Amino acid sequence: MSYSNEDILKRISNAKKNKSKLTHVTNKASLSVEDKVKMGLCKHFVQFSLEKKMLAKNLSDLTGIPTSRISEITNYKINKFTVDQLLKYLTVLGKHSAKIRQYLTLIEQIVEVPTLKVNETKKLSREIKSFVEAGANSTFQYV
């Protein structure tokens, strides 16, 4: 199908007008911490569907989550969800993926970590950074 220049300009104009009505993320630089968490949770749905080569409908059949909700999640329409809703849906998906179960266990462990003082946090961050830079041959130990 071909479009005339006039049609193309009209489509561009309409897209610019409708930009403010978008429900999905278009500018990641302006995300809040909560939105970044939501993006991270949505990413697991996308990765799972890509790894298993599943469409939204198949993923819906597998998890019992409505197809429309799966589509919104995999298209990162994070404004339509709260963090707890996404965690609930991810828990359902975790029943079918060991990798996602491990991720959820990690989140649970992180939440249970006590709050550290600022200088302790900085020290821990430096140690983690040096551990990551050193590679898998080093051992991490924080006391």
Q: What is the pLDDT of residues 119-141, one digit of tens each?
A: 888 888 888 788 777 765 555 45
- HSE-up (13 A, CA, CB side) for residue 2: 2
Which CA distances in Å does 104 have to 8, 18, 22, 39, 91?
A: 46, 37, 30, 15, 7
Q: Whole-model pTM above 0.75?
A: no
Per residue in 17-44, pLDDT (tens digit) is 665 555 555 567 778 889 989 999 999 9
- What amino acid occupies position 104? L
Q: CB of 18 within 8 A of CB of 4?
A: no
Tell me, what's the pLDDT at 141? 53
d(CA 84, CA 13): 37
